């Protein structure tokens, strides 16, 4: 079934121990869409500027992503610069130019309104809520957020969280949002805010999914999918969004939502995140095959399962 | 089969978000011995001072640990003070009083010389090497070290590493010792220094074992055992030593050393580490049952394995 992602498209300047790149096509919606495209039909709503060319759009189109929801505005596309020279696990932002993203008002094309799956990438929670309410037939909604919204718009975020089925954030965001230094306790407090499930992304260590009691009829035991360390992380940008794309894309490809499907989705999330970081920007996500993806899935399984 | 551990016994002053404790019995050898005692016979060589009472020794004896190797010296036992108030994942040392530990010269009782398994806890690599050479009939030797020895006695450490079969250290120590920011590459460089296997401990995220090509006849694919987050970490002190005790203790209890046994050992390491942090000091490690341990092993397995 198809999935709609609403989020950012950006051009990034990136410096890592492996090198530097400028004007790399990025943004959460881009990484998410490419990762999810290996599992299901993807539709994207985002805003781009006049510097976004047909070749840029082709990166998405070549993966079959429906780009009719790309809104073109006067001005430049959102730009971000960051470096990971001291720490591959955390970006140091060097500049942020919101440009056309500053006035982003998501417009959902009519043809997208029937999308059974929805992913609200990391944007203003007020916009996330508006999109979710417009997409009121969505069967399952995933969402992301960040420390900025947790701290500056807590009330708006609380309203959005009531509309999200599965929230995907990292360890630090979970502890901040739950207001607790214990991850399991923080997770429980986040689940009390609305979501039925919370996926906590641990970077190179994989991810854990926590469930609200009774959610999806599958009990409340968490599940952890370990990733495996990558030989050469060239560029960590977009790893979390690629994880979300693999996770949500796999869910959207399945007829049923049960514990086993959610577990496999968590593994596929880790798989897509691990591919994303092997090259700068979305390079690796543009040319994968489903065979490569499933081979890495099997590898992750073999290298973490007892006999 | 029996295992001999050579390391420190200490009294710790500990402050964590859960509270403060003073004069808590600790030290790497203590945590290791208690954790390993649930799997096999344990012998301990360490130095203690006049403040080490019969009741302290009883903590080990009650778990069946052979304490004939405890050397009593004039003066006070090694003392360490640390706090985890800002970060449960990293101790901030407040004071270190080496006391009798400063002149520690491990004496192996004759009755211990036939121990088939040996663990060299984190002490001066020169002493580790001397013990290992004296225990020249040992079937398998595990070892630990830390940033201090990696930086200040690299040559001595290099000699010791040639004598160790399995090295157990954490992520940061692996990258420092291997001189590489990529964990898999750093691991390969560490393995080139001597050990056949390297266990990298990831704290709350579990551990990964890397193998030298052809080691133990089991190929060179790594294996990762994920731990699961603990509701309330009261005191992280000794988690790594308890992990080592569970890992080495389980290996010593098995007839054969194959890939499956090493994988299970990694899970048991995570299990013992997860118990250790639930209470201050060695409290939780003193009163476990093998049933509780195996129940948590099953829990870790269920919560990380696909169907």
pLDDT digits (tens, 9 = 90+) for B31-88: 999 999 999 999 999 999 999 999 999 999 999 999 999 999 999 999 999 999 988 8
| pLDDT value for B48 | 98
Which chain B residues are closer than 8 Å to A189 by Cβ?
Answer: none
Cα–Cα distance, B227 to B243 (Å, whole number): 11
DSSP state of B77: P
pLDDT classification of A168: cutoffs 50, 70, 90: very high
Residue among B270, B203, B36 nearest A304 (CA): B270
Integer-rounded Cα radius of gyration of chain B: 18
Give pLDDT tens digits for B279-291.
999 999 999 999 9
CB contact under 8 A, B183 and A229: yes
Cα–Cα distance, A144 to A61 (Å, whole number): 24
| pLDDT value for B231 | 86
Beta carbons of B9 and B232 less than 8 angstroms apart: no
Beta carbons of B117 and B4 less than 8 angstroms apart: yes
Report the residue from B226, B264, B302 with minimal CB separation from A304: B226
The alpha carbon of residue A205 is apart from the nearest alpha carbon of chain B, in Å, by 6
The alpha carbon of residue A171 is apart from the nearest alpha carbon of chain B, in Å, by 11
CB distance from B294 to chain A under 8 Å?
A: no
Beta bridge partners, A11, equal A25, A79
The two tokens of residue B297 are 């092993």
Report the residue from A205, A230, A302 with minimal CB separation from B205: A205
Task: Tell me the ipTM for this assembly.
Answer: 0.92
The alpha carbon of residue A269 is apart from the nearest alpha carbon of chain B, in Å, by 14
Q: Would you state the torsion angle of the CA atoms of residues A85, B144, A302, A254, taken in this order, to the nearest 10 degrees?
A: -50
Give pLDDT tens digits for B114-169.
999 999 999 999 999 999 999 999 999 999 999 999 999 999 999 999 999 999 99
User: Which secondary structure element, helix H or strand E, spans residue B177, and what is its range?
Assistant: helix B171-178
Beta carbons of A5 and A33 less than 8 angstroms apart: yes
The alpha carbon of residue B214 is apart from the nearest alpha carbon of chain A, in Å, by 17
User: Which secondary structure element, helix H or strand E, spans residue B47, and what is its range?
Assistant: strand B42-48
Residue among B155, B164, B157, B219 nearest B196 (CA): B164
Residue among A25, A156, A32, A47 nearest A108 (CA): A47
Backbone angles phi, psi at A239, to 5 degrees: -60, -45
| pLDDT value for B89 | 85
State the average pLDDT over residues A102-110.
97
DSSP state of B229: -
> Taking 90 as the threshold, does the pLDDT of residue A16 lie above it?
yes
Instruction: Name which of A18, A201, A306, A307 to mutate to probe chain B: the one with the most chain B Cβ atoms within 10 A of its Cβ.
Output: A306
pLDDT classification of A289: cutoffs 50, 70, 90: very high
Q: Average pLDDT, whole number, for chain A?
A: 96
Instruction: State whether the Cα torsion B246-B131-B199-A185 is positive or negative.
Output: positive
| pLDDT value for A238 | 97
Give pLDDT tens digits for B15-26.
999 999 999 999
Residue among A201, A176, A195 nearest A186 (CA): A176
- Ranges of H-type helices in chain A: 28-36, 54-61, 125-134, 147-152, 154-161, 171-178, 183-191, 239-252, 259-276, 283-286, 290-302
CB contact under 8 A, A204 and B183: yes
CB distance from B303 to chain A under 8 Å?
A: yes
| pLDDT value for B238 | 97
* Residues above pLDDT 70, as percent of chain B: 100
Residue B148: Cβ within 10 Å count: 10
**List of residues 6+ apart from A272 with CB closer than 8 A:** A35, A38, A242, A243, A245, A246, A247, A249, A285, A293
In the stretch 176-195 of chain B, residues with CB closer than 8 A to chain A read 181-185
CB distance from A307 to chain B under 8 Å?
A: yes
Give pLDDT tens digits for A47-73.
999 999 999 999 999 999 999 999 999
The alpha carbon of residue A259 is apart from the nearest alpha carbon of chain B, in Å, by 10
Backbone angles phi, psi at A102, to 5 degrees: -60, -35
CA distances from A42 to A31, A52, A68, A139, B224 (A): 12, 20, 11, 15, 33
> Taking 80 as the threshold, does the pLDDT of residue B27 lie above it?
yes
| pLDDT value for B217 | 77
CB distance from A261 to chain B under 8 Å?
A: no
Instruction: Name which of A207, A218, A304 to mutate to probe chain B: the one with the most chain B Cβ atoms within 10 A of its Cβ.
Output: A304
Cα–Cα distance, B13 to B10 (Å, whole number): 10
DSSP state of A112: G
Give pLDDT tens digits for A206-253.
999 999 988 887 777 899 998 888 888 999 999 999 999 999 999 999
Name the residue in chain B with its Cα closest to that of A17: B181
CB contact under 8 A, B184 and A230: yes
Beta bridge partners, B224, equal B208
The region that residue B254 occupies, defined by phi over 0 for left and psi between -120 and 50 for alpha, beta otherwise, is: beta
Beta carbons of A202 and A280 less than 8 angstroms apart: no
pLDDT classification of B214: cutoffs 50, 70, 90: confident
CB contact under 8 A, A184 and B229: yes
The number of residues in chain A equals 307
DSSP state of B295: H
| pLDDT value for A89 | 85
CA geometry: angle B101, B103, B109, nearest 5 deg: 85
The alpha carbon of residue B14 is apart from the nearest alpha carbon of chain A, in Å, by 18
> Taking 80 as the threshold, does the pLDDT of residue A36 lie above it?
yes
Cα–Cα distance, B135 to B208 (Å, whole number): 28
| pLDDT value for B105 | 97
The two tokens of residue B278 are 């639930």
In the stretch 215-254 of chain A, residues with CB closer than 8 A to chain B read 221-226, 228-233
> Taking 90 as the threshold, does the pLDDT of residue A149 lie above it?
yes
Report the residue from A185, A226, A228 with minimal CB separation from B231: A185
Backbone angles phi, psi at A224, to 5 degrees: -120, 130
Beta carbons of A27 and A101 less than 8 angstroms apart: no
Q: What pTM was estimated for this model as a whole?
A: 0.95
Beta carbons of B13 and B94 less than 8 angstroms apart: yes
| pLDDT value for A163 | 98
CA geometry: angle B110, B113, B115, nearest 5 deg: 135
**List of residues 6+ apart from A287 with CB closer than 8 A:** none
Instruction: State whether the Cα torsion A243-A246-A248-A250 is positive or negative.
Output: negative
């Amino acid at each position: 079934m198809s999935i709609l992602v609403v989020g950012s498209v950006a051009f990034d300047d990136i410096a890592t121990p492996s090198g530097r790149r400028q004007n790399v096509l990025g943004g959460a919606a881009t990484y998410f869409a490419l990762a999810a495209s290996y599992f299901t039909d993807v539709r994207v709503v985002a805003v781009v500027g006049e510097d976004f060319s047909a070749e840029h759009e082709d990166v998405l189109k070549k993966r079959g992503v429906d780009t009719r929801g790309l809104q073109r505005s006067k001005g430049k596309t959102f730009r971000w610069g960051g470096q990971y020279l001291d720490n591959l696990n955390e970006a140091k932002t060097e500049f942020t130019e919101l440009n056309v993203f500053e006035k982003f008002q998501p417009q959902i094309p009519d043809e997208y309104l029937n999308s059974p799956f929805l992913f609200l990438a990391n944007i203003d929670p007020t916009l996330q809520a508006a999109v979710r309410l417009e997409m009121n037939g969505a069967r399952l909604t995933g969402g992301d957020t960040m420390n900025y919204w947790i701290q500056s718009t807590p009330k708006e975020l609380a309203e959005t969280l009531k509309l999200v089925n599965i929230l995907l954030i990292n360890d630090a965001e979970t502890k901040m949002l739950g207001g607790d230094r214990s991850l399991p306790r923080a997770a429980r407090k986040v689940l009390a805010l609305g979501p039925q499930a919370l996926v906590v992304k641990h970077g190179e260590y994989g991810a854990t999914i926590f469930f609200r009691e009774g959610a999806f009829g599958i009990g409340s035991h968490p599940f952890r999918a370990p990733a495996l360390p990558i030989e050469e992380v060239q560029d960590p940008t977009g790893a979390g969004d690629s994880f979300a794309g693999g996770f949500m894309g796999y869910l959207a490809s399945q007829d049923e939502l049960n514990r086993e499907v959610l577990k496999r989705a968590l593994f596929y999330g880790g798989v897509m995140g691990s591919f994303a970081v092997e090259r700068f920007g979305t390079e690796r996500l543009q040319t994968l095959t489903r065979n490569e993806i499933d081979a890495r899935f099997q590898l992750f399984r073999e290298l973490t399962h007892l006999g």
